[in-house]
Structure 1
Amino acid sequence: MAMRKLSKVYQVYKRGMALCGGELKGKTAIITGANCGIGRATALELAKRQARVILACRSEEKGKAAISDIKRFTKNGDLVYKHLDLESLKSVREFCSDIIENEPQLDILINNAAVMNHPYVQTEDKIEINMSVNHFGPFLLTNLLLELLKKSSPSRIIFVSSALHKNGTVDFENFQNQQKKPYADSKLANVYFARELAERLKNTEVAVHTIHPGMVNTELSRHSVPQALNFIVNPIKFLLLPSATEGSQGIVHLATANLGKDTGKYYGKTGQEEKWPDISADTAVWKKLWDVSEKITNLNSQ
């Protein structure tokens, strides 16, 4: 089993190398949470294709270490670390101000960063942490960067979602306290946002794509398993789950492929289109969450 796993990883890596070229030369991409897991794997693939890749991460040490690691595998691309903490709406605003002031264009925004079942904490903005990182932070970030994305069009926004959003619920009166299913609930909120955003941008050249990469062997699930069991769980994850490189392939496809006028669609792990789950179909809920999110993030304040 271990040999088959290693062979599969090699084939994915080889395929990615074969597809590399200059198709993103002159393009700028932002990837949130790019210091590890799928985010770092995606940054590597976009750098291979000669993109300018901004790694938006909370930890400067980890962000710069990721850049050093990526440079071991490619001399292409222009890799930049910028501080972004999605737990803090202030940090989101500072990041966006930096981007708008210093970046002449933004072609690809990949909302990748997430936490999964983080123990209950209220952020400095009095928002439950899973909701802050997975929905409210990306909501503010994306909206503040919209004008730059429009100016750089045709451009695209990619939401890295999760099939687990199908198990979520959104309690509009309870974004401060413990969620029933923190990860699923916050990912469902994120999906509602993605669908409403696509609707609002349908007459522009800014496309919105949502993808679920499936279960992948990354650090995302670290809060879901007792630390004492990691020595048992980690080898099993390695053998049974796709690697971060494999898990990034669908995202890379959405970032690089000529998708024509496609927008507002939902994609599976390899980038194939799938039907939107019924839970996300209520357009009135999309609009309601947008309005609530505007107020909680003070989106329109100066």
Structure 2
Amino acid sequence: MSQTALITGANSGLGYALAQALAQAGWRLGLVARDPKRGQAALEQIRAATGNDALELFIADLVSQQQVHSLAEAVLGRFDELHLLINNAGTAFRKRHLSPERIECALTVNHLAPFLLILLVLDRLKASAPAQVIQVGTRIDTALDLEDWNWERRPYRMLAAYGQSKLGMLHCTFELARRLEGTGVRVNCVFPGVFRSNLGKTDGGQGFFWQAVDRLIGWALPRPEQAARGVLRLVFDPSLQGLNGAYLWNGRPIPAPLQARDPEMNRRVWELSLALAGLSEISYLQVASVAT
């Protein structure tokens, strides 16, 4: 029986390359996209290229927690098993924007949406074990300001907000890995390297900036397909099958930002993330139970 994977941001760039590689390997796939037309076009292109008919499209705008809940419900309704969740979708904004829940949008899309999605499908991953979650991170050495995570007091800076949102993901990767010991579900964070990406080209109105960057150095950057191979080493490389709670680049451990190495900070970020996602430790356990 083929294994089942769910990939966010699967209609272009790295997500598309990941989906195509897994489809070629015979996996059953759920592709998560924000735009129905682009998502359907990506699904049809992957199907034509690989001959894999076991592809399903899920539409969700990850800036909305309500849509993340609906996405999880749809996934659990269609997939009896889930062996792999790749949280790939990411974005950056030139200006501060707020989600429907009044949370800064880079934080919402890059951290809280994958955090919430994991918790909502976690029991299905456990029931399908061995299973794993792969978080697509970045390599920006920064620290979280937990007193102003929502950028209410500080001047908003796009790259700083992006870096902090991805650091939030890394904190919770480490905390979740500890909590999942012995369950058969692994969670790791992978830096895919610098490659030609759609990051920021359509979100937040900063298209001219990213187009200029692309014109200057884009030709020299690796293609998403090359970055995808590094991410998927966690799936296909036997030497990496036992890893849990690792931060990797092309199959090799890399140093996490100093703040993320502190288990107490991991716990604090976890608890703050639960609150921002509208959950508590008690309600999270109830969600995990209901999700099955």
**TM (normalized to structure 1)?**
0.85
Report the AA paired with residue 62 of structure 1. R
Distance 2:148 2:206 in 1: 31
Give the 3 Å change call, closer, same or farther, for CA 68–147 of structure 1 in structure 2: same
Equivalent residue, structure 2, for 1:17? none
1:200 aligns with 2:200: no
Shift of 1:232: 4.8
2:144 corresponds to: 169
The aligned counterpart of 1:6 is: none
> Per the alignment, in what secondary structure is the counterpart of residue 73 of structure 1?
helix
Distance in 2 (alpha carbons) for counterparts of 1:168 and 1:234: 28
Q: CA separation in 2, counterparts of 1:277 and 1:34?
A: 28
Q: Which residue of 2 aligns with 1:16?
A: none
8 Å contact from structure 2 (residues 95, 204) kept in 1: no
Residue by residue over 1:199-253, the C-alpha shift from the partner in whole angstroms, topping out at 9 and shown as x without a partner, is: 1101211011111012110111426995446665434343211111111111121
Could you say which residue in structure 1 is the equivalent of 2:4? Answer: 28
Report whether the alignment pairs 1:53 with 2:33.
no
* SS of the residue 2:232 aligns to: helix
Partner of 1:120: 96
Q: Which residue of 1 aligns with 2:290?
A: none
Give unmatched runs, 5+ long, in structure 1.
1-24
Structure 2: 5+ residue stretches without partners: 288-292
- 1:254 is aligned, of 230, 234, 239, to 234
Distance 1:136 1:118, change over 3 A: farther
Q: Distance in 2 between matches of 1:226 and 1:172?
A: 27
RMSD over aligned Cα atoms:
2.1
CA distance in 2, matches of 1:179, 1:191: 21
Contact in 2 for aligned 1:158/1:255 (Cα 8 Å): no
For residues 176 and 287 of structure 1, do their structure 2 counterparts lie closer, same or farther at Cα, with a shift above 3 Å needed?
Answer: same
2: CA distance between counterparts of 1:45 and 1:129? 30
TM-score (normalised: structure 2): 0.87
* Equivalent residue pairs, number: 276
Looking at structure 1, the residues matched to 211 and 162 of structure 2 have their Cα atoms a distance apart, in angstroms, of 24
Of residues 287-296 and 171-180 in structure 1, the stretch that sits farther from structure 2 once superposed is: 171-180
- 1:86 paired residue number: 62
Residues 39 and 244 (structure 1 numbering): CA distance in 2 closer, same or farther, change over 3 Å?
same
Change (3 A) 1:279 1:291: closer
Superposition deviation, residue 149 in structure 1: 0.3
